[in-house]
Structure 1
C-alpha cells in the first residue's frame, strides 16, 4: 500500500498537469487515512482558497502558469499543451491557458489550433492585446491578410505603445501589397523601441518593395550604428548592395557577418552568389564542415549545399557541384512540402475558371499603362525589363505581387469573378503602379508567373501590354533547378522531374491563352533577342508605341536596383550562349530533359 508521501507526490504531479479533480480526490483520501496529515490539509485549503488580490479566480496560480511557460521555453511543447488542456477543465475561462494552447499549436505548425487558442483568449479577455496580435500572426500565416490587419489594429487600439503589434501589422500590410502603409507601421514600432532591429530590417524590405533600395541601405546602416555586430543586419545590407550592383561592398558585408557567425549557412550562400572563390580558398573547408555538422533535412544544410554548388561550379568541380545542388534541392523540396499533383490541380483550375471571368465594360482610362513581362521564371524577363526601363518613358517596378494578391482568388475559383471584383482588382492594381511610376507613363511588372493570370489581366486591364518571353525549355528548367528561390510557391524548381512537369503545364496553359487572347500577347524569343539585340529591341519598342531611344541597347548601363537571381548577369552586355549552360551538367541530368526536345 502506498505511503502518504507517495500519495502526496502523485497528487502534486496531477495538480501540475491540471488534473485538479483527481489531485483533490487523492488529498481527501490521504486525510481519510491520516487525519493529522498537515500537507494534505494545506493542499486542499490552497485549492479551495479564493484567488489573491490582483489574480483572477478564473486563472491558475502564477507558479502554475510560470511552469507552463517554462515548458514552452524548454521546447517541451506537447507537455505544455497537455497540462494546459488539463487545467482548462478547472479554469474554463482562463484566457492565459488559451494563449498557451495557441502558442503551443503555433510552435508545431498547427495553425487551426493556434487560431482557436488565440481567438478564445481574445474572446475571454477582449482587452488582451497580445492575444489579438498573436491571432493576427496566425491569420497572416494562413493567407488571411485582411483579417490579420484588422486583428493587429484592434491590438493597437488597446495598446497604442505595443511595438510588436506595430511590427506585426507592418508584416501583414506588406504581404497585402501595401509597402507604404507597412513602412509607417515599422517606423511606429521602432519609435517606441529604438533598438527594435527586426522592425528596422522589415522597414528596409518595405522600402525595397517601393523601389527605394538606396533608402533601404540607409535604413540598415542606421541600424548598424546601434548594433554593429548584428548578423542579420549585415546580411540584409549585403542584399541591398547586391541589388544595387555593388557586389564588392556586398561581399564585405557578408564576410563581416561570417566573421561574427561562422556557422551562418545563409551568409555563405549570399557570399558565393557575389564572388568567385579561388581553388583552395578556406571557405570550401568551412562550408564542408558546416555541411557535415548540419542535420540532414534542415534549412542550414540546404543553404550551405546551394553555397557549395556555386563555389564548386566556379572552380570547375562539376561532379561535386551537382551533388551539392541535388542535395540542396531535395532538402528544400521536403522543407516546402512541394507536390507536383498540387501543381497539376492548380493549372486545371486556371483553365476551368478562365471562361467564367467576364470582360469589364467601359472603364476609366488608366493614367499609367502597365507592361506585363511574363513567362517561366529564369526565361529572360529581367533582361527584357532592364532593356525597357532604360527608356525614359518606362519605370521598371520589378516583380510585383499585386496581380496574385488581388486576383489569384478570382482566377482559381476561390472567389466569384464578378464585374465588381474585376473592377476592384483593376482599381487597386492601377493605383499601386501609379504610386510607383515616378511620373512615367509606363510601368513594367516582370513577375514571371503572372502567366498564370494572363486571362484575368487581359479582361481587367484591356490597355495593358503583355510580353511573353520564350526561351529554350532545357535552359529554363536547368536555370530553375540550379538557383535558390526564397518564394514559398516555387517548390517545383527543387526537382528536375518536377520542373519539367511544370514546364509542360506552363506550355499548355500558354497555348490555351493564345487561343483566347493571342492578339494581346507579344511573343519575344530570348535566343533571337541575344543574337540580334538591336533588331529585336527595335521591334519590341515599336510594338509598345514608344519612340526609339539608344539607351535601350545598353541595358547594362541601367543602374536601377534589381532584386532577382539575375542581378549579376544584367550588369553585363547582352551575350549569347546562356541557353547552352545546362549542357555542362548533361552527364548528371541524364534523360530527364528528353521530353523537352532539342
Structure 2
C-alpha cells in the first residue's frame, strides 16, 4: 500500500473511535514507512484511547524524534502525561508549543489542565481567561475554568461558566452534569435535579451523568428513584465501584443480599489498594453489617480504609503544625469587630464528622426565619492562608474575608434572620469567624468519640480532606488535636460556644431544641422538635437518617465493635477525654 493509503486507513479507524484497528494499522505503517511520524503519533493516540497511557508515551516520543517540530504529537504527549498526573513534565512540553504558537487554543487548554493537575487553580483560571478573551466560544475551556473555580470554593463563578457553556449549546451533557452540583450547593435544588435529569435523557449511557442524578436524588430524599438510577448504571457496567457503594447504602437487607454476588465479582476485578477496591469493600462491609456478620464487616471495612489510607496518607506533623499555629494566632480572649456585617447572621454548627451536625442543622433550620445552607467550604478556602501560613488575621483581613464570604452566599428568602453553616471542620476556624462576625453563634456537637469513630470508620468520605478517617490511630491523633483546640476556644471565647450533647439531643429533642433556639436568638417553634419534617436536600452521608424522627439507636453502638476500635480507643489522650478514659 502507498503512504497515502496507509495514512487514510489509520486515520479512518481513529476518527471512528476504533482504537484497536487504528493501532494495528499504524503499527503496520511504521514498518512500511519508518521515517513517517504520523504513524507512531496515531499509535500513541490509539493506546491512550484504550487507556494504555504509559504504553502510549514511547510512541509520541518516537514521533517527535522523527519530527522535532511536530507540535500535535507534543500536545498529545502532554495530554497523555496529564492522564498520568505528570503535570510538570507536561507543562514543559506545552511551553515549547506556545513559544512557537502562542495563540494555540489546544495548547492553552492543556496548559490550564496541567496547572490544575499541579494544584494551582488560580493559574489555570488566568490561562483559561486569557484564552477566552481571544475566543469566548470555547465550551471545554469554560468547563475547565468552572472546575478551577470549584476547586477554589467559588460555586457562583463555576455556575456562571457552566451557564455560559450551556448558552453555546443547551444540550452539552458534560456541562449539564457538572452544573448540577454547584446549583445544589447554592440551594437551587429543583434546577440541580432538572439539569441532571436532562443530561441523562440526552445521554442515557453516560455513567457520570447517571451518578450525578443518583446523588442528587439521594440528597432530595428520593430513595427509590435513586435506586433505579443505580440499577441502570449497573446494567451498563456491573463493576462500577462508585454505584455499588452508593447502592449498598440505599438497599434494604434483602436487596443487599441480591447485590452480594455482584459486589463479590467486582472485588475480584478491583486492583489492590485502589479506589475501586475501597468502594467495593465499603459496599461489602455494609452488606455484611446488615446480615449480622461482624467478622466479615470488620474485614471488608479494614480493607476499604486501608485502600483509602494508601491513596491519602495522614500527615501527623502537618496536622500538629496547623493546630499549633491556630492556637498561637488567638492567645487571649478574642475581641470581635465592633460592628457586624449587614444581612442574616451566621450560625455555625461544628464538631467532628458524624457527631450530629446534620441533625442539629435540621433542627435549627426548621425555624421559619432560618435558612440551612449545609456544609459550606467557602470559609476554609478563604482562610487557608491563615491556617497554613503565619499570616496575621488583621481587622482589615477580617473585613475582606467577611465581604468575600458574603458575596458567595446563595440567595435567601425574604425575612431570613440567620443561616446555618454546618461544615463540621469549621471548628478549626472559630477564632477567625468570631473576629469577622461578632453576631455569629457557635453550636458545638459533643458526642461519645467512640460512637463518632465507629460511624466515621463505617462511612466513605471522598476526596482528601479527611485523611485521618481511614486509619484508627490517625483518627485518635486528630481527635486529640480537636479536643485540645475546643478546650482552647472555650478559654478565649467565653460564653460564645453552646456545647450540645448529641445523646441529650436525641433523647429529649424538644428540651434541647428550646435551648438551641434561645442560644441562637430565636423564638422556639414546634417544628424544631420534628426533624423528620425536613423537606430540603441533604448533601452529606446523613441524607437518609435525618429524615427520620430523632432516635438513640446509635448511642453506645461502639461497644459491639470495641475490639475493632481498640487502636482508636487506646490512642485517645486521657487528659483530653477524661470522661471516657478516667
Q: Please give the TM-score of this superposition, normalised by the length of structure 1.
A: 0.83
- Within 5 Å, which residues of 2 pair with 1:308-327? 308-327=284-303
Alpha-carbon shift at residue 556 of structure 1 (Å): 0.9
Is structure 2 residue 57 aligned with structure 1 residue 80?
yes
CA contact under 8 A between 1:357 and 1:456: conserved in structure 2? no
Alpha-carbon distance in 2 for matches of 1:122, 1:573: 60
CA distance in 2 between counterparts of 1:285 and 1:64 reads: 43
Is the contact made by 2:37 and 2:64 (CA closer than 8 Å) also made in structure 1? no
Select which of 220, 223, 237 maps to 1:261: 237
1:294 lines up with 2:270 in the alignment: yes
Deviation for aligned residue 1:114: 3.3
**Cα 1:376–1:124, aligned 2, differ >3 Å: closer, same or farther?**
farther
1:151-182 Cα offsets, whole Å, 9 max, x none, are 21222223322211111111122233332332
State the Cα deviation string for residues 252-288 of structure 1 (Å, max 9, x = none): 2111211221111211111111122328833111111
Matches within 5 A, 1:112-511: 112-193=88-169, 195-278=171-254, 281-354=257-330, 361-363=337-339, 365-413=341-389, 415-433=391-409, 435-436=411-412, 439-511=415-487
Give the corresponding residue for 2:28.
Answer: none
Contact kept in structure 2, 1:556 and 1:573, CA below 8 Å: yes
1:63/1:262 CA distance change after superposition, 3 Å? closer
Does the CA contact (< 8 Å) of 2:326 and 2:387 recur in 1? yes
> What CA distance in whole angstroms lies between the structure 1 residues aligned with 2:408 and 2:455?
31
Q: 346-355 or 453-462, which moves further after superposition? A: 346-355
Q: Using the alignment, how far apart are the partners of 1:415 and 1:131 within structure 2?
A: 36
> Offset of 1:98 from its aligned partner?
5.4
> Is 1:537 matched up with 2:475?
no
**Contact 1:357–1:418, Cα closer than 8 Å, also in 2:** no
Separation in structure 2 between the aligned mates of residue 485 and residue 438 of structure 1, nearest angstrom: 35
Per-residue CA deviations over 1:463-498 (Å, capped at 9, x if unaligned) read 211111111111111111110011321111001111
Gap change, CA 1:188 and 1:78, over 3 Å in 2: same
Cα RMSD for the two superposed structures: 2.9
Partners of 2:95 and 2:404 in 1: CA distance: 30
Paired residue for 1:17? Answer: none
Partner Cα separation in structure 2 for residue 442 and residue 206 of structure 1: 22
Instruction: Point out where structure 1 has 5 or more consecutive residues left out of the alignment.
Output: 1-41, 47-59
The alpha carbon displacement at 1:365 in A equals 3.2
Range moving further from structure 2, 71-80 or 427-436: 71-80
2:491 is aligned, of 515, 519, 533, to 515
Structure-2 separation of matches of 1:290 and 1:359: 56
Question: C-alpha separation between the residues in 2 aligned to 1:437 and 1:340?
Answer: 43
Aligned to 1:525: 501
Q: Counterparts of 1:358 and 1:63 in 2: how far apart (Å)? A: 68
Q: Is the CA contact 2:347–2:440 (under 8 Å) kept in the aligned structure 1?
A: yes
Unaligned runs of 5+ in 2: 1-32, 573-579
| Cα distance between partner residues in 1 of 2:385 and 2:194 | 37
Find the aligned partners of 1:486 and 1:102 in 2 and give their Cα distance. 28
After superposition, the C-alpha distances for 1:563-597 in whole angstroms (9 at most, x for unaligned) are: 11111111111112422122222233335414543
2:131 and 2:335 mapped to 1: Cα distance?
41
Equivalent residue of 1:524, what SS?
Answer: strand
**Helix, strand or coil at the partner of 1:475:** helix
How much has 1:240 moved relative to structure 2? Answer: 1.1
Aligned pair in 2 of structure 1 residues 523, 117: CA closer, same or farther (>3 Å)? farther
Q: Kindly state the Cα deviation for residue 384 of structure 1 after the two structures are TM-superposed.
A: 0.5
Assess if the C-alpha contact under 8 Å between 1:492 and 1:499 holds in 2: yes
- Is 1:585 the counterpart of 2:561? The answer is yes
- After superposition, the Cα gap between the structure-2 partners of 1:215 and 1:348, relative to the gap in structure 1 and judged at 3 Å, is same
Larger mean Cα displacement after TM superposition, 436-445 or 587-596: 587-596
The separation in 2 between residues aligned to 1:342 and 1:430, in whole angstroms, is: 30
Deviations 1:287-307 (A, max 9, x none): 111112212112211111101
Superposed displacement of residue 386, structure 1: 0.2
Q: Provide the rounded CA distance (Å) in 2 between the counterparts of 1:361 and 1:149.
A: 33
Alignment: residue pair count: 541
Indicate conservation of the 8 Å contact 1:353/1:413, yes or no. Answer: no
Name the CA distance, whole Å, in 2 between partners of 1:306 and 1:559.
28
* Residue 414 to residue 595, structure 1, CA distance change in 2 (3 Å): closer
Q: Equivalents in 2 of 1:64, 1:578: separation in Å? A: 60
Cα offset, 1:351, TM superposition = 2.8
| Structure 1 range deviating more: 488-497 or 570-579 | 570-579
Distance 1:81 1:516 in 2: 60
8 Å Cα contact 1:356/1:417 also seen in 2:
no
Cα distance change, pair 86–254 in 1 and its aligned pair in 2 (3 A): closer
Cα separation, 1, equivalents of 2:413 and 2:535:
17
Whether the aligned pair in 1 keeps the contact of 2:277 and 2:304 (CA below 8 Å) is yes
Per the alignment, in what secondary structure is the counterpart of residue 327 of structure 2? helix
**1:219 & 1:102 partners in 2: Cα distance?**
33
